């Protein structure tokens, strides 16, 4: 198949442009995925992990509050318990409104029921009752509920941390996939340019040089220019036309 120079040049540039368009599109697509992963990590998992941490902190404070009540420090213990309860409920609401993982809803429901049971233990009077100073009551009731609740909250934190890790891995892979087409296209474009340069030299510059040499070698008696150009493109046509022109000159000279 013989292509014209115009077609060859156009094909070369079109292929280069298409490579760059595809690389650009792929990078944009992957960067869009990257942004989705960021949102997933920040909105879905990070919020729940932070809420879990706050719940755990509030629980620890509530535990301290109970111990103060056991020591007869009613006012101080009550204040800590009231504030911690508010803090816990605030964090719990955040976690409840951010259910994104499998089994997360069940865990949230479990936390709610366990917290209500735990709250029941310290909401009733402790000071001036048989519970005050009763470490056995604390060990067998409040502390057990406290440990169970902590376990469930930790489970909630773990599933969100695992998901965060998975998302971070996806994020890393998406980042990698967004960058790689660009790098490969860059190297591809360099190789392509070298290849194009080689063909331009071979198909344009060399034939023109050959033709110039042939014209320089031209002997007025020959009326024929011979170059080594084998391609049937425009430069070959130019050589044919030069030879035709020389023949016409020869014929004109002969008729004189």
Partner 1 sequence: MRLEVIFKILGVVLLFNAAFLFIALVIAYNNQESSLIPLLFTTLICIIFGLFPMVFSGKHEALSFAEGITVVVSGWVITCVIGMLPYLMWGGEFNLIDAWFESVSGYTTTGSTILNDIEALPKSLLFWRSATHWIGGVGIIIFVLLILPHARNARITLLNTEMSELSKSNFHYKARTTIQILIVVYVGLTLIETLLLKLAGMNWFDGINHAFATIATGGFSTKNSSIAYFENVWVEVIIMVFMLLSGIHFGLIFGTITGSRHNIFRSKVVRSYVMIMFLGIILVALKLFINDFYTWSESLRFASFQVISVGTTTGFATVDTAIWPVFTQMVIIYFTIQCAMTGSTSGGLKFDRVYLFIKSVKKQIQLIKHPAGVFAIKMENRTISDSLERQTMLFVVLYVFTFFITTLLLTTMDIDLTTAFSASIATLGNVGPGFGNVSSMGNFDGLPNLAKFILSLNMLLGRLEIYSVIALFTIRK
Least distance CB 67 / partner 1 (angstroms): 49
Q: Interaction with partner 1 in 32-61: which residues (CB under 8 A)?
A: none
Check binding of 199 to partner 1 (CB under 8 A). Answer: yes
- Cβ–Cβ < 8 Å for 34, 178: yes
Angstrom CA distances, 87 to 46, 93, 155, stand at: 18, 10, 20
How many chain residues touch partner 1 (CB under 8 A)?
32
Among 129, 193, 202, 253, binds partner 1 (CB under 8 A): 202
Least distance CB 96 / partner 1 (angstroms): 32
What mask of x and - would describe binding to partner 1 in positions 207 to 236, judged by CB under 8 A?
A: -----------------------xx-----
Question: How many angstroms separate the CA atoms of 64 and 95, rounded?
Answer: 24
Q: Which is nearer to partner 1, 15 or 245 (CB)?
A: 15
What 3-state class would DSSP assign to 232? coil
What mask of x and - would describe binding to partner 1 in positions 145 to 184, judged by CB under 8 A?
A: ---------------------------xx--xx--xx--x
Among 3, 31, 218, 236, binds partner 1 (CB under 8 A): 3
Mark residue 129 as left, alpha or beta (left: phi above 0; alpha: psi -120 to 50; beta: remaining): beta
Check binding of 26 to partner 1 (CB under 8 A). Answer: yes
- Long-range pairs of 244-248 with CB within 8 A, sequence gap ≥ 24: 247/223
How far does CA 186 lie from the centroid of its chain?
A: 20
């Amino acid at each position: 198949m013989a292509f014209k120079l115009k077609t060859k040049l156009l094909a070369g540039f079109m292929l280069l442009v298409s490579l760059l368009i595809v690389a650009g599109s792929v990078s944009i697509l992957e960067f869009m995925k990257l942004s989705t992963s960021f949102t997933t990590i920040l909105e879905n998992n990070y919020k729940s992990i932070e809420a879990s941490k706050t719940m755990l902190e509030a629980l620890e404070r509530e535990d301290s509050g109970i111990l103060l009540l056991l020591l007869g420090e009613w006012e101080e213990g009550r204040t800590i318990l009231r504030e911690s309860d508010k803090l816990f409920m605030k964090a719990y609401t955040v976690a409840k409104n951010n259910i994104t993982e499998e089994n997360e809803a069940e865990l949230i429901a479990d936390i709610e029921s366990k917290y209500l049971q735990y709250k029941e233990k310290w909401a009733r009077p402790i000071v001036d009752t048989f519970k005050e100073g009763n470490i056995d009551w604390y060990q067998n009731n409040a502390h057990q509920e406290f440990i169970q609740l902590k376990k469930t909250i930790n489970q909630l934190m773990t599933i969100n941390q695992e998901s965060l890790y998975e998302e971070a891995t996806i994020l890393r892979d998406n980042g990698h996939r967004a960058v790689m087409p660009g790098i490969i296209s860059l190297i591809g474009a360099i190789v392509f340019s070298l290849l194009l340069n080689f063909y331009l030299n071979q198909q344009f510059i060399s034939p023109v040089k050959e033709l110039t040499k042939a014209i320089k070698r031209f002997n007025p008696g020959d009326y024929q220019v011979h170059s080594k150009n084998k391609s049937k493109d425009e430069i070959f046509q130019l050589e044919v036309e030069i030879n035709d022109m020389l023949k016409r000159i020869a014929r004109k000279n002969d008729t004189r």
